[in-house]
Structure 1
């Protein structure tokens, strides 16, 4: 049996006899004799071996036409055609035709965590490669800590971080580094004189040491809350109610001074603190109101007494002056007569005596 076979450009024919590769046909016309199997391959497509590739590569002609890539266990290979990413090759042996297009490969060791290969971030986000990577995001207002197999590795600034996806545990813990405010509300405290009151307190803080906050401490925010409770309780217990109310404006500063060292141990910096409200129980509030009213009444009575005393002293001084000076007495009489005359519409003189004399008797001693 004789057959004529024509191989076009960028075609390759493999001639098999009894399942064994006998020859390789390139561009041209060929006469095939006998019972032989011919497989025609397009060089623009990947080569798929019909039998074990190792056996085929024993043919020197075919071996020179193929580029072979071996991907070991725990490896992948990134396959690029003419510099453009094409696909991910998993564990196995692959063959590609030479000459038709430029093939290039980047082998990746998946047994390690860090991506040291020359792979850009855009490619790492490719849907074909995404299953083989892990991505962590640290926002602009955050800082992160990298842990590998539970061990702290380093601190991370804002950005995107990629790691190969494998059996090794990778974790990125993040925390907000912006200024934050914590409310400590409704704390029932006992003063030195056994008075009960409730205080609403606030504290503003900022995370400044990620390692201390997240590695050396657990739940640093809860620890800060408890610390402020204890310091506030100890401070209030050292003063009577009156003393506490009189120095309420300085409480915040005193609390800040006592918490500086403790907050540094938590990796925090306390920026501000203050009292929102001091709330007294109902009966205590009523007593305080009564005390306030009594104080105001006492102040009013004191002022009235001082004014009365000053008025009496002025009258006494005037009387002494009038006693020693007859002219002053006359002037004072005339002053009162003038005041009386202002209120009298008319003066009636009785009798038929001298009118001038009678008026003189009325107004002149």
Structure 2
């Protein structure tokens, strides 16, 4: 009585006697006595070599078997990229692996994860398949990046995309924005030399020119904000309110010059600065409005007096000319008569005398009747 075992062309058999491996069986048909303690494990050579319940090391002493296997050992500090016939298949973690080399060609790329950055030899098109084991960082065109391993600075990164293994070394990338930036001080309360409290809205623009220096400073934006505050207080505190309002444009010049003196320390180039608003307390605003109104009224009165003086002078000059020139005087009479005729339908004059005097007398009588 026999039991038959058939091994196909794409298979190999492993012969065991009493649980111990004996040899490899090639494709064919084999017969074994039913009561014998012989077993055969049939493996598909298109799949990785694996025997359930058996350690791979039990088979490695058989040279005949090993000749048809690719054995790869992955160390604790390694990841191995496994390709079959030039196509990526899987990522191998620490351990020992065996693959049949009969139907497929296997290649293995060893990478040391103690050096986290992926080697340039790694095909970037397979990275989406490695997301569980790879970190990615992207540096924009307007940024500068800095690479840290275990919180120790390694180098500066130019714009681009970078990939790192998740492994025993902690990887961090920090970025600094190199574009023009703006710092706003809104509603900063300050006191002038004459003890007037006011609020300033101020703005300045700057660019980071030494990104590493900016990275080394704790709370970089806050430190620039404080420096801007102190500079403003220094300027405003040395002026009286009237002087400050008159020299408001000079604030920007003073502050910008002081900030540029600190630019090297911050790794920053300050581009411009300016006062947006000066906000006064309500009472002080009312007082200034009253003063302004009085000044404008005085200016209006002055202009009125000047106009009256000019008008009187013009009349005096006209009278002198009429007194010296009878023709001009006669023309003035006719002009006066024309104005009267515009307002009166008909006029009857009798008797002699000066025409202008008689018309004046007539106008006087009509005004009395109208009353």
TM-score range, shorter chain: 0.7 to 0.9
Q: 1:301 to 1:104 in 2, by over 3 A?
A: same
CA distance in 1, matches of 2:140, 2:308: 75
Which sits farther off after the overlay, 177-186 or 222-231?
Answer: 177-186
Q: Any idea what the Cα deviations from partners look like across 1:268-308, whole Å, max 9, x if unmatched?
A: 33233222211222221122122222222222333344445
Q: Which residue of 1 aligns with 2:110?
A: 107
CA distance in 2, matches of 1:316, 1:66: 128
Which sits farther off after the overlay, 88-97 or 111-120?
Answer: 111-120
Q: Any idea what the Cα deviations from partners look like across 1:316-341, whole Å, max 9, x if unmatched?
A: 7788899xxxx728668757766776
Q: Which residue of 2 aligns with 1:131?
A: 132
SS at match of 2:71: strand
Which sits farther off after the overlay, 242-251 or 218-227?
Answer: 242-251
Q: Which residue of 2 aligns with 1:122?
A: 125
Q: 1:339 to 1:148 in 2, by over 3 A?
A: same
SS at match of 1:274: strand
1:45 to 47, 51, 65: 47
Q: Which residue of 2 aligns with 1:60?
A: 63
User: Does the aligned pair in 2 maintain the 1:137–1:160 contact within 8 Å?
Assistant: yes
SS at match of 1:131: coil
- The answer to whether structure 1 residue 194 and structure 2 residue 190 are counterparts is no
CA distance in 2, matches of 1:164, 1:316: 102
User: How many aligned positions are there?
Assistant: 348
SS at match of 2:244: helix
User: Does the aligned pair in 1 maintain the 2:147–2:157 contact within 8 Å?
Assistant: yes
- Structure 1 position 52, deviation (Å): 4.3
Q: 1:13 to 1:240 in 2, by over 3 A?
A: same
Q: Which residue of 2 aligns with 1:328?
A: 324
CA distance in 2, matches of 1:212, 1:77: 39
Q: List aligned pairs for 1:172-251, cutoff 5 A.
A: 172-215=173-216, 217-251=217-251
Q: Which residue of 2 aligns with 1:301?
A: 301
Q: List aligned pairs for 1:334-349, cutoff 5 A.
A: 343=340, 345-349=347-351
CA distance in 2, matches of 1:92, 1:208: 49
- Structure 1 position 101, deviation (Å): 0.9
User: Does the aligned pair in 2 maintain the 1:78–1:89 contact within 8 Å?
Assistant: yes
- The answer to whether structure 1 residue 167 and structure 2 residue 168 are counterparts is yes
CA distance in 2, matches of 1:340, 1:28: 143
Q: Which residue of 2 aligns with 1:69?
A: 72
TM-score in terms of structure 2 length: 0.80
Q: Which residue of 2 aligns with 1:274?
A: 274
CA distance in 2, matches of 1:6, 1:317: 141
CA distance in 2, matches of 1:339, 1:77: 115
User: Does the aligned pair in 1 maintain the 2:80–2:91 contact within 8 Å?
Assistant: yes
User: Does the aligned pair in 1 maintain the 2:12–2:24 contact within 8 Å?
Assistant: yes
SS at match of 2:76: coil
Which sits farther off after the overlay, 299-308 or 172-181?
Answer: 299-308
User: Does the aligned pair in 1 maintain the 2:136–2:164 contact within 8 Å?
Assistant: yes
Q: 1:144 to 1:27 in 2, by over 3 A?
A: same
User: Does the aligned pair in 2 maintain the 1:256–1:272 contact within 8 Å?
Assistant: yes
Q: Which residue of 2 aligns with 1:261?
A: 261
Q: 1:297 to 1:130 in 2, by over 3 A?
A: closer
SS at match of 1:100: coil
Q: Which residue of 2 aligns with 1:352?
A: none
CA distance in 2, matches of 1:51, 1:120: 35
Q: Which residue of 1 aligns with 2:159?
A: 158
Stretches of structure 2 lacking an aligned partner (at least 5 in a row): 342-346, 359-371
CA distance in 1, matches of 2:325, 2:30: 160
CA distance in 1, matches of 2:302, 2:174: 68
Q: 1:239 to 1:38 in 2, by over 3 A?
A: same
User: Does the aligned pair in 2 maintain the 1:145–1:210 contact within 8 Å?
Assistant: no
CA distance in 2, matches of 1:71, 1:98: 18
- Structure 1 position 93, deviation (Å): 1.7
User: Does the aligned pair in 2 maintain the 1:199–1:278 contact within 8 Å?
Assistant: yes
User: Does the aligned pair in 1 maintain the 2:321–2:328 contact within 8 Å?
Assistant: no
Aligned CA-pair RMSD? 3.2
